[in-house]
């Protein structure tokens, strides 16, 4: 009874938070700004600065744990229809928002720790560089989640996989027949071999031979990609409700 109730709570939280991830991220940014603003006002001898830094580290660990819990849940075998681009795309993943929060709190904790110890001096260039990279990576990931660009998009002419740090564009004529290979339910990516690799375009930090799996069942995503690779006559209908219903009801031995 309790596991069933907990599963229902997680499902409800996942749906609602995915729809309102901007509120979640906005609250995290506000909390970080408040903590970093009051940190210089706390007397160094009181131990309050250490407590504030510890709080931020605790929030980072808690957010990471929540992200792992949601990521371990079964992913749905569904797409969302995108009328603007006439395509199918994966649903937003709740874990991305909590990963962004974890990175945000961890970065803020490191900034607070440096400020609290009075170590912000020009004679620590390596530490400044590492902290600057951490801030930049956190900002890029947070903006990507805020803009809801992370995921896999199926368009009439190509497949587009967007991560927080890069984009992979794969025209339907590029993959070799039979690819991507079937992947287990917990897979984080699909493996692809290209018959025409010169057609593939990559931008940023993303691997050419791997299609990331976001908030979608890997078997379903792999089946859909392989189906449109093998059936060019159906590609122009991608993004329509009729085609989506046909795809859902196509005989698919890979998906239970």
The 10s digit of each residue's pLDDT in 13-27 is 444 455 678 888 999
Give a yes or no: residue 167 inside a domain.
Answer: yes
How many other β-carbons are positioned within 10 Å of the β-carbon of residue 23? 12
Same domain, 30 and 101: yes
| Predicted local distance difference test score (pLDDT) of residue 18 | 56
Question: Is 175 in a helix, a strand, or coil?
Answer: strand
Question: Which of 205, 3, 220 has the alpha carbon at shortest distance from 90?
Answer: 220
Do 118 and 45 form a contact (C-beta atoms < 8 A)? no
Domain range enclosing 215: 151-249
Same domain, 127 and 61: yes
Q: What is the DSSP code (8-state) at residue 165? A: S
Do 159 and 152 form a contact (C-beta atoms < 8 A)? yes
Same domain, 168 and 137: no
Give a yes or no: residue 83 inside a domain.
Answer: no
What's the whole-number average pLDDT of the chain?
Answer: 84
Lowest average pLDDT, out of 61-65, 169-173, 249-253, goes to 249-253
Lowest average pLDDT, out of 15-29, 38-52, 145-159, 216-230, goes to 15-29
Question: Which of 182, 201, 39, 195 has the alpha carbon at shortest distance from 113?
Answer: 39
| Predicted local distance difference test score (pLDDT) of residue 233 | 94
Last residue of a domain, one of 147, 175, 194: 147
Same domain, 42 and 155: no
C-alpha 169/C-alpha 147 separation (Å) is 19
Last residue of a domain, one of 109, 130, 147: 147
Query: Which residues does residue 253 pair with via DSSP β-bridges, in sequence order?
Result: none
Same domain, 225 and 196: yes
Question: Which of 29, 28, 30, 32 has the alpha carbon at shortest distance from 52?
Answer: 32
| Predicted local distance difference test score (pLDDT) of residue 185 | 82
Given a cut of 50, whether residue 213 has pLDDT beyond it is: yes
Question: Tell me: the pLDDT tens digits for 70-99?
Answer: 888 888 888 998 877 789 999 888 889 999
124 falls in which pLDDT band (50, 70, 90)? Answer: low
Query: What does the block give as tokens for 218?
Result: 């890997």
Question: Which of 19, 244, 70 has the alpha carbon at shortest distance from 154?
Answer: 244
C-alpha 169/C-alpha 131 separation (Å) is 32
Question: Based on the structure, what is the number of domains in the chain?
Answer: 2
First to last CA, the chain: 25
Same domain, 177 and 139: no
Question: Which of 244, 236, 228, 247 has the alpha carbon at shortest distance from 173?
Answer: 228
Question: Tell me: the pLDDT tens digits for 214-229?
Answer: 889 999 999 999 999 9
C-alpha 8/C-alpha 2 separation (Å) is 10
Question: Tell me: the pLDDT tens digits for 237-255?
Answer: 999 999 999 988 876 544 4
Give a yes or no: residue 202 inside a domain.
Answer: yes
C-alpha 37/C-alpha 171 separation (Å) is 48
User: Higher pLDDT residue, 160 or 41?
Assistant: 160
Given a cut of 60, whether residue 11 has pLDDT beyond it is: no
Same domain, 28 and 131: yes
Q: What is the pairing mode between strands 151-154 and 87-89?
A: antiparallel
- Residue reference for tokens 């339910």: 185
For 26, residues 6+ apart whose C-beta sits below 8 A from its C-beta are none
């Amino acid at each position: 009874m309790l596991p069933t109730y907990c599963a229902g709570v997680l499902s409800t939280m996942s749906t609602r938070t995915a729809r309102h991830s901007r509120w979640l991220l906005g609250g995290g940014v506000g909390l970080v700004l408040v903590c970093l603003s009051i940190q210089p006002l706390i007397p160094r001898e009181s131990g309050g600065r250490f407590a504030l830094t510890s709080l931020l580290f605790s929030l980072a660990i808690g957010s990471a744990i929540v992200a792992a819990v949601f990521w371990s849940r079964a992913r749905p075998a569904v797409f969302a229809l995108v009328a603007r681009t006439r395509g199918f795309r994966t649903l937003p993943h709740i874990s991305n928002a909590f990963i962004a929060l974890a990175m945000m709190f961890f970065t803020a904790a490191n900034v607070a720790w440096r400020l609290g110890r009075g170590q912000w001096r020009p004679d620590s260039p390596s530490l400044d560089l590492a902290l600057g990279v951490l801030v930049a990576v956190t900002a890029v990931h947070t903006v990507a989640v805020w803009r809801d660009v992370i995921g896999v998009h199926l368009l009439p002419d190509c497949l587009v996989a967007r991560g927080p740090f890069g984009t992979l564009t794969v025209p339907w004529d590029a993959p070799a027949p039979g690819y991507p290979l079937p992947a287990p339910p917990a897979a984080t990516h699909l493996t692809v071999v290209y018959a025409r690799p010169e057609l593939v375009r990559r931008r940023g930090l993303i691997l050419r031979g791997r299609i990331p799996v976001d908030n979608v069942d890997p078997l379903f995503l792999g089946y859909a990609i392989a189906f449109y690779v093998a059936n060019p006559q159906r590609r122009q209908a991608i993004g329509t409700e009729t085609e989506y219903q046909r795809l859902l009801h196509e005989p698919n031995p890979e998906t239970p």
